Amino acid sequence: MSSIKPLPIDLRDHLSELSGNEFKVWMAYYQRTGDYDLTSHPGNQTIEQETGICNDTVKTCKASLRAKGWLAYTGDYKQPRKGNPSHNDGGQFAVPVMAVRLPWRDDWSVVVIDASTAYNTLQTMVENFPPWHHSGKFPPRRFLFWFGFGFFFFLFCCYWCAFRF
């Protein structure tokens, strides 16, 4: 899973639609999405621990986010893990899989997938980069700087083109 999760700049124009707790719950879902889809399935207890808000507030925020179009049911459920040592009770309930959305941007999932793919490609390239001149040392910092600059400029151009229309 990629450690990069892009957020569009125009998100700030829509932050007034959410309360602080709703944004925390939405971010808890978004941070748990995969690289190639915008679905996740944290339980209420997990969201409660990550955000520091109580269980009733988590439930209220989830219902509000669904009503506003920021979250949507996919119809799938993640079954509880029996005997999981990281859970005290081993999981009791099936957790609904939710799709994370931006109500004003239909193509957002495509941009997230593209950014995740680009980041994973860069990460793989750096990890598999051959030793510089067979000396076993990394390439000069100047090379890495311009390589990284060029790659992120390319990402910026793709991102800008995707959100320009």
Determine the CATH number of domain 9-100: 1.10.10.10
**Which residues pair with residue 132 across a beta bridge?**
137
Domains in the chain: boundaries = 9-100, 108-164
Per-residue pLDDT of the chain (165 residues; tens, 9 = 90+): 556 677 778 888 888 999 999 999 999 988 888 767 788 888 888 899 999 999 999 999 999 999 999 998 887 767 666 655 555 555 566 778 888 888 887 777 777 777 777 777 777 766 666 655 555 565 555 655 656 667 777 767 666 666 655
Identify whether the C-beta of residue 8 lies closer than 8 Å to the C-beta of residue 156. Answer: no
- Please, is 131 exposed, middle or buried when counting C-beta atoms within 10 Å of its C-beta (0-12, 13-18, 19+)? exposed
Angle among Cα 136, 151, 133 to the nearest 5 degrees reads 20
- The pLDDT, as a whole number, for residue 85 is 57
Q: DSSP letters of 60-92?
A: HHHHHHHHHTSEEEEEEEEPP-TT-TTSSS---
pTM as predicted: 0.66
The amino acid at residue 77 is Y
Give residue 144's pLDDT: 58
Three-class secondary structure of residue 97 per DSSP = strand
Query: In this predicted structure, what is the pLDDT of residue 4?
Result: 67
- Angle formed at CA 59 by CA 63 and CA 32, multiple of 5 degrees: 90
